Chain A
Amino acid sequence: GAVVSQHPSRVICKSGTSVKIECRSLDFQATTMFWYRQFPKQSLMLMATSNEGSKATYEQGVEKDKFLINHASLTLSTLTVTSAHPEDSSFYICSARDQGPNRNQPQHFGDGTRLSIL
């Protein structure tokens, strides 16, 4: 089945550091990928939609300059948390959908990245 690989799974770093998270679709192409943020015991909140070859679409309240998204190929999207601060500590999850002939494919999720800013 379709697999989404997310790396790294865990990051611990100092305040002010920029952190890059990669999301790859392993056996399918995805022109669109989604980045979510999940706080403890809460639901997934969509942060942005990553579009291959064009600018990402950010949800209301999400800072574009803080969360940089690049979708350079049909199988890779990256999320960079710039100058991270403790309040950015969270669980970040990406997902992708097989953009093949069948438009009704479900979204598949990565394992998530736990980001801890000291």
Chain B
Amino acid sequence: AQRVTQPEKLLSVFKGAPVELKCNYSYSGSPELFWYVQYSRQRLQLLLRHISRESIKGFTADLNKGETSFHLKKPFAQEEDSAMYYCALRAQEGNNRLAFGKGNQVVVIP
């Protein structure tokens, strides 16, 4: 079974400070990892995915299979980064369903 763990529910950081959101997963097969973001009153949208290996809005995330982690990082937080962030895992087998973590609410303090 797929399982995604995001330990901290709420993260408050000052503008310009680094942000790191932790995500650990449990899955016996070959996973695909995503970070989704939900800004206030907006739909859930894809932030980045591990296979792309790109930086979006200054965020990066590296898949560490040894530690089964996919932590999200940004060196300098901006006010517009305040949002809910969800880590998600998609199984490569079966119906490719997404399993979500519980989410992190990030509040960037001006």
Contacts and interface: CB of A to CB of B under 8 A. Distances in A.
B90 to A, nearest CB: 8
B31 interface: no
A13 interface: no
Interface in B1-56: 32, 34, 36, 42-46, 49, 51
B83 interface: no
B46 A106 contact: yes
Interface string B65-96: 00000000000000000000010001000011
A111 B43 contact: yes
Given A43-B86, A43-B103, A44-B86, A107 B98 contact: yes
Nearest to B102: A43
Contacts, number: 44
A41 B32 CA distance: 25
Contacts of A46: 97-99
A97 B43 CA distance: 15
A43 B98 CA distance: 12
A46 B34 CA distance: 16
B86 A109 contact: no
Contacts of A108: 46
Most buried by A among B49, B97, B99, B102: B97
Interface of B: 32, 34, 36, 42-46, 49, 51, 86, 90, 95-103, 105
Interface of A: 32, 34, 41-44, 46, 49, 51, 57, 93, 95, 97, 104, 106-112
17 contacts: A32-B95, A34-B97, A41-B105, A42-B103, A43-B100, A43-B102, A44-B86, A97-B96, A104-B32, A104-B51, A106-B34, A106-B49, A107-B98, A109-B45, A110-B43, A111-B42, A111-B43
